[in-house]
Amino acid sequence: MKIYTRKGDDGTTGLYGGGRVPKDSTRPVAYGTVDEAQAVLGMARAETERGGELDGVLVRIERDLWVLMAELATDPANDHKLVDGTSRVTAAMVEALEPLIDEVDARFETPTDFVVPGQNRIAALLDLARTVVRRAERVSLPAAADGSQVVPYLNRLSDLCWTLARWQEGAALVTRTAGSSDEPGS
| Domain 14-169: assigned CATH number | 1.20.1200.10
**pLDDT tens digits along 32-55:** 999 999 999 999 999 999 999 999
Q: What average pLDDT does this structure show over 168-180?
A: 63
pTM, entire model: 0.89
> What pLDDT does residue 178 have?
42
Return the amino acid letter for 2: K
Per-residue pLDDT for 186 more than 60?
no
Q: Which of 24-28, 54-58, 115-119 has the lowest mean pLDDT?
A: 115-119
Are the C-beta atoms of residues 112 and 118 closer than 8 Å to each other?
no
Quickly state the pLDDT bin for 171 (edges 50, 70, 90). low
> What pLDDT does residue 116 have?
83
Instruction: Give backbone dihedrals phi and psi of 3, rounded to 5 degrees, phi first.
Output: -70, -30
Quickly state the pLDDT bin for 177 (edges 50, 70, 90). low
C-beta pairs of 98-102 under 8 Å, 24+ apart in sequence: 98/156, 100/57, 100/160, 101/156, 101/159, 101/160, 101/163
Per-residue pLDDT for 179 more than 70?
no
> What pLDDT does residue 118 have?
86
Q: What average pLDDT does this structure show over 123-151?
A: 97
Quickly state the pLDDT bin for 101 (edges 50, 70, 90). very high
Residue of 88, 162, 151 lying closest to 124 (CA atoms) = 162
For the chain, the structural domain boundaries read 14-169
Q: Helices then strands (H, E): number in the chain?
A: 5, 2
